[in-house]
Structure 1
Amino acid sequence: MNETLPLGRIAGVRVGLHWSVLVIVALVTVALARGRFPDAHPGHSAIAYWALALLTAVVFLGSLLTHELAHAVVARRNGVQVEGITLWMLGGAARLHDEAPTPAAELRIAGVGPLTSLLAGGVLAGVAAGLDALHASGLVVEAFVWLAAINVLLAVFNALPAAPLDGGRLLRAYLWHRTGDRLRATRGASSAGRALGWFMVVTGFVAVLYGRDLSGLWAALIGWFLIGAATAEARQAEMRSLLGGVPVSRVMTPDPVTVPATATLADFLAEGPFGQYRHSAFPVLAADGSVTGVISIRRVEATPPQARASTMVHEVMRPLGDIVTAAPVEPVLGLLPRLQASPVRRALILDEGRLVGILTIADVTRALAWPGTPGPDGPHHGPPAQPKET
């Protein structure tokens, strides 16, 4: 889940919002302003209900952020790099660059999330009790009671033993410790996640159809997300198992077709798709043979047709600084997160500054689909390695 609005760094961790977080803010605000607050404490103005509801929704987001920050901080202390945190419609996501190195580290990283939410719930409940003892506004006390309850509920839900929830990671840590097999442990946690997801989908629709409870749609949505996330987690684990230690040079497309930086866009278009330019993006080379960027069909299409005969490739290409680059010996798994986040979904493979290959998501997919898996050192059971020019 990529961020839409960066918020900066907290405790050294990059934090951002995805646009869909507005959905949860709106839902919480409406539910409190039109439901819980006026039902529990009638007689206040609409402005009071809506203002406090919006403030409560923002504090709720803060508690989600605290939960994810706890994961991030403990992950870094256990040697796992953290790329950032994104808050979105269904909560938050701490993006970890690597996996936990041991079951014990997995246990610590996963367990701190529910504990943080539980602690937050306890603190908020204490604040609510204190305000009530001081005879503060019942409406304000109600907001703290709701925040305390929702944090405890989140702690309990997140502790369920099903991936991708924190409880699923705790289950994986246990199975990993018990069997010594990380892949097998991930499969078990992912299966539990899919089972929980389907249970929530079915019960959610039953609540809507027979109980006329529209909140069942929310449960079904969360269940559907769990199914997809658990399935993706299992696939990621399979991919890590298959590609672990495999260098980029074993998967990349060597000696890719390039485009001269001084070629016009009209000349470039004239060569494809029936000429040599049969793909959607190509490395761009300067006159001295050095790579300077990547030109894509989309960039060319954005140029007015009447200007293409006088516009050179280097004028509209993405410069090299915006492109993911890697060395041939770099592990594929280490490159994948950057490759997936790249705007052109390609990485240029450079050997001492010289272009020797290009890697796309399709290259990785082909390697995964091939019967047998190339190992970092052992016999190569995948597609035959293609020689590089020297």
Structure 2
Amino acid sequence: MASFSWKETIKTMPHMSARLWSYLTATIASTMKIGPVLNRMLGVRLRLHPTWAVAFILIIAMVVTEFPEAYPLWQRIILGIAASLLFFIAVGIREIILNFLAINRGIPLQRVTLFAIGGLPQIPKGDTRPLIELLMVTAGLLLNLMIAGTLYAVHSALVNTTNVIIDGIILWTAYLYFLLALFHFIPVFPLDGGRLLRVLLWKLTGDYDRATNIASWAGQGLGFLLIVWGILLLVLSRQWFNGLTLIFVGWVLYLAAAQSRRQTALREALQHIAARDMLSGESPIIATPQLTIGQLVRDCILVTGQRYFVVAEEGKLLGVITVSDIKKVPKKRWNHTKIGRVMTPAGQFRTASAQQSAASLLEQMDELGIKRMPVLEKDRVIGVISRDSLNRLKKTRVELGM
């Protein structure tokens, strides 16, 4: 195995060609666009977890280490980028197929968080059954083996060609994905083996949430052990690369399992509460967009301290206006500028339906960074719901064991 020197990497980085940096920029930009494209294809909110950035760096470092030093460092880095993208595509294809299978089985996927070890789907409680879950787990395990086998078959087809580099990258990715396929047999959540464990616990206890929690605790436990193992390799054996890899895998597994437990706790706390039950009543509905900024500031903002207002006419939502919007207008124009001219028009922000569950609302607001959201019933504004009020309710219900 070739030795890998971070000093060599750092020293050579400034001398890399402009083509390499252009390729890196294009790669990052393309990756950022994948989520919205798949959202349109599947009708499911897909979120790439930030740990993918660390995964890309580790895969690039692996390739730089494994490939012969006869290749210049910048070429090995480009090959590492290619391998990381190929691995990402393989994981993505698996999730796309599984999502299509779930949708065809009538399972409404609310959101899928894509980790480097696979996807963590968010499925409403009561919308899946043990048999369907078992079929999905089996499909996931088989898909992993099929993808690894396909990559190896492509390698075998290219083995006698002159393109040794491409063949080597495909073989290396096939090996890495085969390790991931074996890893998924471990019975801890959210790995496929852990989903199988959840099915068995679900059948034994009859409690989906309890089964999810137990399997997720197992996932967090294994993740913690892998982190400790990696630290021991770093400290005792000076195996920097292997130690960092184990720490990363354990970290990702721990985060994914912890997210699953948070989703379960949130569902348990807020599952029976609808948006209409949570209306904060903090923000008045502005009767007309003809109100001036000056009137809004004097009569509402300076009196109540509120920063977010719904603009509506005869109950019909027209837009929202915030203190940030107002600050963009010079003060000398406040008495002459209608709020309808500076508001954010309806259709450019998220709204909630009166029947939407508080649990799904809080997850959506956390994911998108939304602090408040107008609530609509039959296309009419009935109030505003805030993320702070949802979090307070969740905390209170958890403290009371409700």
Which of the numbers 96, 99, 110 marks the counterpart of 1:69? Answer: 96
Which of the numbers 106, 125, 139 marks the counterpart of 2:152? Answer: 125
Structure 1 regions of 5+ residues with no counterpart?
375-380, 383-390
Cα separation, 2, equivalents of 1:26 and 1:81: 34
Distance 1:354 1:226, change over 3 A: same
Verify the 8 A CA contact 1:160 1:167 in the aligned structure 2: yes
Verify the 8 A CA contact 1:80 1:97 in the aligned structure 2: yes
One-letter amino acid of the counterpart of residue 33, structure 2: L
Aligned residue in 1 for 2:230: 204
Which of the numbers 229, 233, 254 marks the counterpart of 2:256? Answer: 229
Deviation, 1:46, is 5.8
Distance 1:304 1:93, change over 3 A: farther
Deviation, 1:81, is 2.5
Distance 1:227 1:300, change over 3 A: farther
The reply to whether residue 28 of structure 1 matches residue 56 of structure 2 is no
User: Mapping of 1:228-267 within 5 angstroms?
Assistant: 228-254=255-281, 256-259=283-286, 261-267=289-295
Aligned residue in 2 for 1:366: 392
The reply to whether residue 13 of structure 1 matches residue 42 of structure 2 is yes
Q: Deviations over 1:66-123 (max 9, x none)?
A: 12113212211221234566656x3553654535511222222234233212111122
Q: TM (normalized to structure 2)?
A: 0.77
The reply to whether residue 295 of structure 1 matches residue 295 of structure 2 is no
Aligned residue in 2 for 1:321: 347
Cα separation, 2, equivalents of 1:203 and 1:18: 24
Aligned residue in 1 for 2:193: 167
* Structure 2 counterpart SS, 1:5: helix
* Structure 1 counterpart SS, 2:239: coil
Deviation, 1:151, is 0.9
Aligned residue in 2 for 1:37: 67
Distance 1:205 1:105, change over 3 A: same
Q: TM (normalized to structure 1)?
A: 0.79
Verify the 8 A CA contact 1:201 1:224 in the aligned structure 2: yes
Aligned residue in 2 for 1:154: 180
Distance 1:226 1:274, change over 3 A: farther
One-letter amino acid of the counterpart of residue 258, structure 1: I
Verify the 8 A CA contact 2:98 2:140 in the aligned structure 1: yes
Cα separation, 1, equivalents of 2:193 and 2:307: 42
Q: Deviations over 1:239-274 (max 9, x none)?
A: 222333433222222474234533343443445665
Deviation, 1:182, is 0.7
Q: Deviations over 1:332-384 (max 9, x none)?
A: 3454454445563333223334432222222222332335999xxxxxx99xx
One-letter amino acid of the counterpart of residue 317, structure 1: M
Cα separation, 1, equivalents of 2:356 and 2:173: 46
Aligned residue in 1 for 2:13: none
Aligned residue in 1 for 2:10: none
Deviation, 1:130, is 3.7
User: Mapping of 1:304-343 within 5 angstroms?
Assistant: 304=330, 307-342=333-368
Distance 1:93 1:52, change over 3 A: same
* Structure 2 counterpart SS, 1:350: strand
Deviation, 1:63, is 0.5
Deviation, 1:186, is 1.2
RMSD: 3.5
Distance 1:20 1:77, change over 3 A: same
Cα separation, 2, equivalents of 1:64 and 1:301: 45
Cα separation, 2, equivalents of 1:98 and 1:284: 33
Verify the 8 A CA contact 1:345 1:360 in the aligned structure 2: yes
* Structure 1 counterpart SS, 2:384: strand
* Structure 2 counterpart SS, 1:238: helix
Distance 1:246 1:84, change over 3 A: closer
User: Mapping of 1:49-128 within 5 angstroms?
Assistant: 49-82=76-109, 90=116, 93=119, 95-96=121-122, 98-99=124-125, 100-128=127-155
Verify the 8 A CA contact 2:110 2:124 in the aligned structure 1: no
The reply to whether residue 268 of structure 1 matches residue 301 of structure 2 is no
Aligned residue in 2 for 1:192: 218
- Tell me the percent identity: 25
One-letter amino acid of the counterpart of residue 293, structure 2: L
Deviation, 1:135, is 5.5
Deviation, 1:152, is 0.8
Cα separation, 2, equivalents of 1:307 and 1:21: 47
